[in-house]
Structure 1
């Protein structure tokens, strides 16, 4: 089956630069994806976008080029609840990768057990309206009930307006919760960021990925306008932050980031070796591999 990428979709960077910052041993890229290839792993019929293929071989090549050791693969909405492409990548990576799945309430216990055996350690709840159709809170509680026996955690993706609308649900989640992309702050309205900081302060089970400056920036590379947000999160919550590339950067249309530049963003938000070690190695190792 042939899938044509959406018009205007930018493919991932063909030749990222070698970063100046050297990632410490054991670094985890804690947010990345695999897309297809569509001929082998068809995209979901209900998807709201069709990406360029970006398979596991390209992801692992980037991992090695940047100097990372491990990956956390996050299921993207273009594949829906068919986690086959992600599981295939997890199995190829062995113990060097973990996964975050998307599931439906009717998923069987056997399917969940197979996902766990492959390395899945959580599910993603997506509230971004341009990517998914909104559902009532009860839907998400049913999903959470299904994964509770496995000890998995929850990854949530929302934008600023969604935080207001879903505050009751988000503040009631009973397990570890990881927020994608700094909670998608509007970098032109820093006062609004205080609401997200409040969520983290009042809910100690919350973690946050200091990822995607390329999505949040108004100024563009090297993302100076995003640095204060990432640095504030790392400084206040050093034991609850994660970092990742977001490769292959889905839905980017204005510019395709250089993954080497994204690595060089790390010391700007985590300026000390101790903070870098926690962000890149210790925190993801503890959450995804049970180490430390």
Structure 2
């Protein structure tokens, strides 16, 4: 029995996702997913903005195998704050098939950073979505960035499209590889060539240290699952085709804080050939790029 109560309006992950029609290539990486708790073993952060369902490492590995993936990148979610114990537990149990993105505070010690690295952490996440976190000052984030650069880690940034103008200069000052979550959550009701998404494309084009995940259509789409998130596809395909060496894809399982619908993970996989329509692009998106970023010692040049 869990020692907490899940938010009443927060949906549980899909209990029986469909088997994807698209067969992912051998060695494919789900480069954005999470573990939550179990809450009785790994308590959630007191300052969290939501309380999720349990989503264990064993359930994540089972989904990985069912969908046909080989590896995972597990991203620390805001509900666990800077307590990375659930993340580390999953990485240590993965037999080298998972890497991690942690959340750390400015007072993290070198010993703690080294332990995270040994467990398989290769990046830190900076979250700028105001409804999910209380913003940290830029100076503090810059000090964290300078320290993790020494480990050759990267920074993952999560923000929403309308916030990019005020964050642009800070983002481009970061000294590491930077990975943008979910294309910066563009407003897909606005034109593909409009000023908002054009600024994101400029960020990618003019800063070769920037990568992007082309994931989470369920969070971005207005059309929704019944129309196969069709309104997101042109945005994601544009990013994949223009920046094929710097894109990643992930399920986002167990889809934190979803309140309108819970996506079918099999349906999400079936969107991949629509945004990466060639075998070459699929190879880069699912294998070459994530291996280069998270398992460089095992990667081969695409």
| TM alignment of 1:152-171, pairs within 5 A | 152-171=153-172
Task: Indicate if the aligned counterparts of 2:186 and 2:220 stay in contact, CA closer than 8 A.
Answer: yes
- 1:202 has 2:206 as partner: yes
Cα displacement (A) at 1:34: 0.2
Give every structure 1 segment of 4 or more consecutive aligned residues whose post-TM-superposition deviation is greater than 3 Å.
none
Aligned-partner SS, 2:201: helix
- 1:212 has 2:213 as partner: no
Aligned to 1:176: 177
Q: Deviations over 1:139-186 (max 9, x none)?
A: 110111221211100000001122111111001111100000011000
Cα displacement (A) at 1:288: 0.4
Q: Residue 261 of structure 2: which of 255, 263, 268 is its match?
A: 255
Q: Normalized against structure 2, the TM-score is what?
A: 0.96
Q: Residue 252 of structure 2: which of 230, 246, 251 is its match?
A: 246
- 1:92 has 2:100 as partner: no
Aligned-partner SS, 1:279: helix
Matched positions, count: 292
Q: Deviations over 1:40-83 (max 9, x none)?
A: 00000011110011010110000000000000000000000000
Cα displacement (A) at 1:106: 0.6
Rounded to whole Å, the distance in 1 between the matches of 2:149 and 2:210 is 16
Aligned-partner SS, 1:198: helix
Task: Indicate if the aligned counterparts of 2:156 and 2:178 stay in contact, CA closer than 8 A.
Answer: yes
Q: Normalized against structure 1, the TM-score is what?
A: 0.99
Task: Indicate if the aligned counterparts of 1:105 and 1:146 stay in contact, CA closer than 8 A.
Answer: no
Cα displacement (A) at 1:224: 0.4
Aligned-partner SS, 2:165: helix
Q: Deviations over 1:178-220 (max 9, x none)?
A: 0000110000012121110011011110000000000000010
Task: Indicate if the aligned counterparts of 2:102 and 2:123 stay in contact, CA closer than 8 A.
Answer: yes
Aligned to 1:68: 69
Rounded to whole Å, the distance in 1 between the matches of 2:34 and 2:5 is 19
Aligned-partner SS, 1:51: coil
Question: What residue ranges of structure 1 are gaps of 5+ in the alignment?
Answer: none
Aligned to 1:285: 291
